[in-house]
Amino acid sequence: MLQAFYTGLSGLNSYSQNLDNVSNNIANMNTAGYRGTDSFYQALGGDSGKPGLGSQISGLGYRFSVGDIRQTGNDFDLAITGTGFFALLDNDQVFYTRTGQFEFNEDNVLVDKNTGFKVAGIDSDGQLSEINLSSYLAIKPTATSKLTLTGNLSPLDDVHQISSAKMINALGEEVDLSIKFTNEKATFPNQWKIEILDDTGNVLHTDSVKFGPDGTPEVGSGKFIFNLADSTGSTTPVNITVGTIGDFSAVTQTSATGSDSNVSLHAVDGKGIGQLLKRSFDSEGKITLNYSNGDKSTPLTIAMVDFDDIRTLEVDSGTLFKANDTQSRVVGKAGEGRFKQFATSSIEMSNVDLSQEFADMLVIQRGYQASSRILNVANQMIEQLYENTRGR
């Protein structure tokens, strides 16, 4: 009789703990990355030929199904669409989470908004490492290496000049030059002198191009190298293409345009120093960096982590997990192997199923009422025994 009283009490305690768990699930149904938990009961006692001693909560089980994906429009939000976790670094500790709400701190390190822990990337050796953009705030210049001209030089014209030919030297400095064509028909028929001038009119380079009967440059003519100088006196070779024999898409010499020449710049490569303007993530977790000079770079990648034995994970706090054993840990990249691609500018919500929680509450309520009833009956029986014995 007294044992029934304590057995009922253990039932009340177990159902109360389970209700705490259900209430926590419901409270976090809108928490990004939260994983729902289930309580498991364990019988106490129950030796051969004897009744049990009640029940207790033996532990929690975690639900790792994928939650709903919600778009946020934030460039630094990522949602995991399959299995796996983000890894967060806190000194020598590694934590795991499904919450993909990130930001760059004042040191240009990618961190988790909620904890401030560093988001792990994957290095060339496949190891976890912090994502630091300090060395990527600017991108080095690319010097002009080639320049292509198109158009027509009229044999009736004497002089034609391209007033602005902007090039980039090795230091990233923009140099505004001009290209002057002078018809040498008086001394060299079908030949034009080419001069490259600086902004003060000084001649920096002189060359020539001779045209054949078909109006395209003769063999060995139409291409030359100009050495572009920077402010330190160093030079970078620039390959300049006027045209080649039989190529009517480059520069030609015909009277089709009358007395007017129309040669212009077709393509000039080279870019100045680029300052970092925008940071974002792509669906493979690559950090995409856009620079002011038009360059784009993807130097770093966010790591994905999964476990062959998911039971090694346990909740540390909130939406953070820690692993008791990393032997089954698998590190990789989104879109490779077992890992699916990310949903960009999105977060994964809780995977709590509200209908399941309501159903669990009804079961808990019935169990709690039944356990309470056992206490009442046991109490009545004790009172009856006391009455019958008059306290003796």
Please give the pLDDT value at position 9.
87
Query: How far apart are the C-alpha atoms of 175 and 91, rounded to whole Å?
Result: 48
3-state secondary structure 123-145: CCCCCEEECECHHHCEECCECCC
* AA letter at 244: T
Phi, psi of 348, rounded to the nearest 5 degrees: -90, 130
Q: Which CATH architecture has domain 146-268?
A: Sandwich (2.60)
Please give the pLDDT value at position 182.
97
Gyration radius of the chain's alpha carbons: 38
Q: Could you give the 3-state DSSP secondary structure of residue 379?
A: helix
Please give the pLDDT value at position 1.
57
Q: Is 134 exposed, middle or buried (0-12, 13-18, 19+ CB in 10 A)?
A: exposed
Please give the pLDDT value at position 389.
79
Question: Is the Cα torsion angle 59, 64, 68, 71 positive or negative in sign?
Answer: positive
Residues 6 or more apart whose Cβ sits within 8 Å of residue 47: none
Question: Token pair for residue 349?
Answer: 């919500």
Segments making up each domain of the chain, as ranges: 2-64+351-389, 69-132+301-348, 146-268
Residue recorded with tokens 């230091």: 171
Strands 264-268 and 251-252: unpaired
Question: Token pair for residue 356?
Answer: 């399941």
Phi, psi of 329, rounded to the nearest 5 degrees: -70, 135
Mean pLDDT by 10 residues, the chain (392 residues): 77 90 93 91 77 83 91 93 95 93 95 95 92 94 94 94 93 94 94 94 95 93 94 93 91 88 92 93 94 92 94 89 90 93 94 92 92 83 77 54
Query: How far apart are the C-alpha atoms of 361 and 369, rounded to whole Å?
Result: 12
Please give the pLDDT value at position 392.
55
Please give the pLDDT value at position 49.
64
